[in-house]
């Protein structure tokens, strides 16, 4: 069956809108090239959005939670939300901070905002935003120069292991480094590592006591060498914002509106940083999908997304379920995978509804062994390319990186170009940097460059310049580094052709400026080659044709996934792989590893009931989270006599005993000098501490995230009678008042708490 033309960008209609809302009735967006002009007004920003996406774009105040299924246009919705707010004059661009998890995603967001005319908005990763703040405030908060940031910590871990006389092989060293990273993002100190790892069910590479010893030595080594790692960037930024209220206020005065993409992937440490950025405000929009939580090994948890409505009762919740990426056949398989899932994330799954025309059914194929599977996949890809499918529209996805080599060789044997996902970023490649220098020089001195004598237009000028860097009209034979360099240069040649077509009369200087902007946004051109990628690195991407290979027991789910939670994450990983396909999906597995081996393998249990001949299909079970739509927050529906109290405007804090102006954060929480006498109710203070410990254990977060010691002391000293008195205590805030207020007031009145926070 021939492949259909490539679908429009995710979130845009794939065909003319039918006459009812049942199939989307999405207003057709104007045709856009690779270099579209910005909309001419705020209202024009909203054109082409479906009803739910428009709800997201126009919900500019208060907490907003967007539950967005795969392929439903979440990035489109949130970038149009920011752009609409900016273009309408509601959101000052410099007051908006959009954060996500990868440089690629942040770059894509910046590129889209630029195309929508919303320049000036900060779109960064958590680490990038924190590092920028830490570098700026370090002299004021700490003094002197900030320690050097190490790019890779694995050598430091190796040195720490040597100091502890712990011998690690290469794999153990990598895994030990991952354990240290997990510990830091979950705010686990070395002394608590063994217990925390056991509680989380982690497979430790060595005895937990040895990992704890190694972790402690690693931290000591960093201090001795005056260096910090990427996790320290977040930890130190959190510490500065917690300890220095003046700096926290300065950051909050700069950023008043926050957008968090991929919110299901936030770690406890990132969530704490976000809370400190927010303060007592609620101008926050989060976007995520619990069914795409696949990075728990790094500390990511969907709990913050799933608990958002509990923490923010006034939140507007918008569910995006119209899938613009995949055909109904692919969507049906994806829904079937999740229909068999269990656990909390599964209870909040979204039932996708395809907006695409019908396509071919997914294909399921077994092979006698792994080399045969790779050879068959390569031949089919060769045939697809010969039939006119672009190589860049095809991907081979596998569970582990070790599977890559077999497919690299198989594709090279049939002459199919490929690129490895997760390798060096496009604009960081040496050949791309050299090409940029050559193009910049030609743009400046082109009149005197003999290479350009016969070049009559921009594409021919670029071809002429890059021919001196190794580009040729025909690709080199074979694979390897030579072919990869050629593919990079060919991507620049293709980009020049698209640029010239979109902007007739553009000069070489204009193209160089465009490349500079793309490099800053990490908005790379498409490399014309089949993509080879692990399922984890394929997150956020899509292709016309996807080959999911090695889908056998022991690989998906992976052998070491033993607990129910680990098995369910493996199911979600396969779901992510399935939803990468726009048009055609091929799923395969090998019955043995090597030629002539015993055919003892079976296809993944996740395919039971979904592939032909494996029993009844997986019917979707009804869930509260299945349908799309909008849910308004409690504050929008509240009809009671008075709203919850708001934090009063700040005035200089004075000691309630001696009247002195207070400057220290701890003193301001107590509303008295440290040396002034305290009238604290000791019994109440102990009850509050016991209650706090219970709340922290239930929520899986440090005790200070519930209330700090100083805040508990202030409560025990003032013994508030009602919400208003409790809200006046520094460190309580509106969100904590909503969540914990009833319990705290009950304890102050001598009663047992009702456990209201448990219902969150």
Query: 588 - beta bridge partners?
Result: 365
Q: 68 among the known binding-site residues?
A: yes
What is the arithmetic mean of pLDDT over 8-18?
Answer: 41
* Average pLDDT value for residue range 192-217: 88
345 has a pLDDT exceeding 60: yes
Residue-wise pLDDT for 511-558, tens only, equals 988 888 777 655 666 667 899 999 998 998 999 999 999 999 988 998
Instruction: For residue 682, give Cα distances in angstroms to 657, 678, 688, 714, 718.
Output: 19, 10, 10, 11, 12
Closest CA to 630 of 322, 347, 351, 320: 320
- At 39-49, the pLDDT tens digits run 878 888 898 89
Q: How far apart are CA 534 and CA 539, in angstroms?
A: 9
Asked if residue 69 belongs to a known ligand binding site, the reply is yes
Are the C-beta atoms of 70 and 323 separated by less than 8 Å?
Answer: yes
DSSP 519-567: HHHT-PPPPSSEEEEETTTTTT--EEEEEE---BTBBTTBTT--SHHHH
Q: Is 539 annotated in some ligand binding site? A: no
Residue 72 marked in a binding site? yes
Residue 519 marked in a binding site: no
Percent of the chain, pLDDT > 70? 82
Predicted local distance difference test score (pLDDT) of residue 669? 56
Q: How confident is the model at residue 718 (pLDDT cuts 50, 70, 90)?
A: confident
Greater model confidence, 348 or 79:
79
* Between residues 199 and 137, the one the model is more confident about: 137
Report the relative pairing of strands 316-320 and 629-631 from DSSP bridges.
antiparallel
Residue the block writes with tokens 């409560």:
715
Residue-wise pLDDT for 259-302, tens only, equals 999 999 998 899 999 999 999 888 999 999 999 988 888 788 88
DSSP H/E element including 81: helix 74-87
pLDDT exceeds 90 at position 214: yes
Quick one: three-class SS letters along 164-209? Answer: CCCCCCHHHHHHHHHHHHHHHHCCCCHHHHHHHHHHHCCCCCCCHH
Average pLDDT of span 190-213: 88
pLDDT tens-place string over residues 631-667:
776 544 333 334 444 433 334 456 666 666 555 555 6
Q: What is the pLDDT of residue 28?
A: 30
Q: What average pLDDT does the structure give for the chain?
A: 82
Q: How many CB atoms are located within 10 Å of the residue 290 CB?
A: 23
Helical spans, DSSP H, in 226-267: 230-243, 245-254
Q: Check pLDDT > 80 for residue 99.
A: yes
| Burial of 750 (C-beta count, 10 Å sphere; 0-12/13-18/19+) | exposed
- Provide the strand spans (E) within 431-542: 530-534
pLDDT at 678 over 80: no
What average pLDDT does this structure show over 354-373?
94
Give pLDDT tens digits for 411-446. 888 988 888 876 555 677 788 888 988 898 888 876
CA distances for 517 relative to 9, 116, 241, angstroms: 21, 15, 32
Q: Which residues pair with 287 in a beta bridge?
A: 66
- Summarised one tens digit per residue, pLDDT across range 22-38 is 333 333 333 334 556 77
Query: pLDDT class for 77, splitting at 50, 70, 90?
Result: very high
In DSSP notation, 353-365 reads EE-SPP-PPPEEE
293 by DSSP, 3-state: which? coil
58: which DSSP letter? Answer: H
- Asked if the model's pLDDT at residue 501 lies above 50, the reply is yes
Dist CA 538 CA 118 (whole Å): 28
| pLDDT at site 427 | 72
Phi, psi of 418, deg, nearest 5: -150, 165
Which residue in this structure is represented by tokens 């959101």? Answer: 91
The answer to whether 241 touches 276, Cβ cutoff 8 Å, is yes
Does the annotation place 160 within a ligand binding site?
no
Residue, of 133 and 503, whose pLDDT is higher? 133
């Amino acid at each position: 069956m021939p492949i259909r033309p490539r679908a429009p960008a995710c979130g845009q209609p794939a065909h003319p809108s039918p006459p009812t809302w049942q199939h989307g009735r999405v207003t057709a967006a104007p045709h856009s090239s690779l270099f579209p002009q910005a909309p001419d007004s705020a209202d024009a920003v909203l054109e082409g959005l479906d009803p739910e996406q428009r709800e997201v774009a126009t919900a500019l105040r208060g907490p907003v939670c967007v539950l967005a299924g795969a392929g439903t246009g979440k990035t489109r919705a949130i970038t149009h939300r920011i752009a609409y707010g900016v273009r309408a004059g509601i959101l000052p661009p410099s007051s908006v901070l959009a954060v996500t998890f990868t440089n690629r995603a942040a770059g894509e967001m910046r590129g889209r905002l630029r195309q929508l005319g919303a320049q000036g908005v900060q779109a960064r990763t958590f680490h990038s935003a924190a590092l920028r703040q830490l570098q700026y405030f370090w002299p004021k908060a700490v003094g002197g120069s900030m320690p050097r940031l190490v790019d890779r910590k694995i050598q430091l871990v190796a040195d720490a292991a040597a100091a502890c006389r712990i011998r690690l092989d290469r794999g153990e060293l990598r895994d030990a480094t991952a354990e240290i990273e997990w510990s830091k993002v979950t705010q686990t100190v070395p002394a608590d590592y063994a217990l925390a790892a056991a509680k989380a069910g982690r497979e430790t590479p060595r005895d937990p006591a040895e990992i704890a010893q190694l972790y402690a030595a690693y931290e000591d080594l960093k201090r001795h060498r005056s260096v910090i790692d990427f996790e320290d960037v977040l930890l130190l930024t959190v510490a500065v914002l917690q300890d220095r209220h003046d700096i926290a206020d300065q950051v909050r005065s700069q950023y008043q509106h926050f957008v968090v993409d991929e919110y299901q992937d936030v770690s406890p440490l990132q969530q704490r940083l976000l809370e400190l950025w927010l303060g007592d405000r609620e101008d926050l929009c989060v976007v995520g999908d619990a069914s795409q939580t696949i990075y728990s090994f790094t500390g990511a948890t969907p709990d913050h997304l799933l608990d958002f409505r509990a923490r923010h009762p006034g939140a507007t919740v918008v569910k995006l379920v119209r899938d613009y990426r995949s055909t109904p056949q692919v969507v049906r398989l994806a829904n079937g995978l999740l229909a068999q899932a269990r656990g909390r994330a599964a209870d909040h799954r979204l039932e996708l509804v395809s907006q695409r025309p019908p396509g071919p059914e997914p294909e399921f194929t077994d092979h006698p062994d792994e080399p045969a599977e790779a050879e068959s996949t390569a031949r089919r890809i060769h045939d697809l390319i010969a039939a006119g499918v672009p190589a860049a529209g095809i991907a081979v996805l596998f569970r582990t990186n070790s599977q890559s080599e077999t497919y690299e060789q198989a594709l090279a044997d049939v002459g199919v170009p490929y690129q490895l996902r997760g390798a060096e970023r496009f604009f960081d490649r040496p050949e791309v940097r050299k090409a940029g220098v050559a193009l910049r020089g030609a743009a400046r001195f082109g009149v005197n460059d003999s290479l350009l004598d016969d070049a009559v237009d921009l594409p021919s000028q670029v071809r002429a310049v890059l021919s001196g860097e190794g580009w040729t009209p025909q690709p080199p034979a074979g694979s390897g580094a030579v072919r990869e360099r050629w593919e990079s240069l060919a991507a620049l040649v293709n980009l020049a052709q698209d640029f010239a077509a979109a902007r007739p009369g553009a000069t070489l200087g204009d193209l160089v400026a465009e490349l500079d902007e793309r490099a800053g946004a990490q908005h790379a051109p498409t490399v014309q080659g089949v993509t080879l990628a692990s399922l984890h690195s394929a997150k956020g991407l899509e292709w016309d044709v996807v080959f999911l290979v090695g889908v056998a027991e022991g690989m998906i789910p992976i052998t070491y996934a033993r607990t129910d939670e680990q098995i369910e994450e493996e199911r979600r990983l396969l779901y992510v792989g399935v939803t990468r396909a726009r048009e055609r999906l091929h799923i395969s597995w090998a019955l043995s590893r090597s030629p002539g081996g015993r055919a003892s393998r079976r296809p993944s249990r996740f395919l039971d009931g979904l592939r032909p001949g494996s029993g009844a299909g997986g019917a979707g079970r009804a869930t509260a989270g299945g349908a799309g739509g909008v849910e308004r927050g409690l504050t929008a529906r509240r009809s009671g006599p008075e709203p919850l109290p708001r934090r009063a405007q700040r005035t200089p804090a004075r000691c309630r005993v001696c009247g002195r102006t207070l400057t220290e954060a701890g003193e301001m929480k107590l509303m008295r000098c440290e040396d002034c006498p305290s009238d604290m109710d000791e019994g109440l203070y102990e009850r509050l501490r016991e209650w706090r410990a219970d709340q922290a254990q239930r929520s899986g977060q440090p005790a200070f995230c519930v209330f700090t010691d100083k805040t508990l002391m202030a409560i025990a000293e003032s013994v508030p009678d009602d919400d208003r008195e409790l809200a006046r205590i520094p460190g309580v805030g509106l969100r904590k008042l909503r969540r914990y207020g009833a319990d705290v007031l009950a304890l102050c009145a001598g009663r047992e708490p009702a456990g209201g926070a448990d219902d969150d």
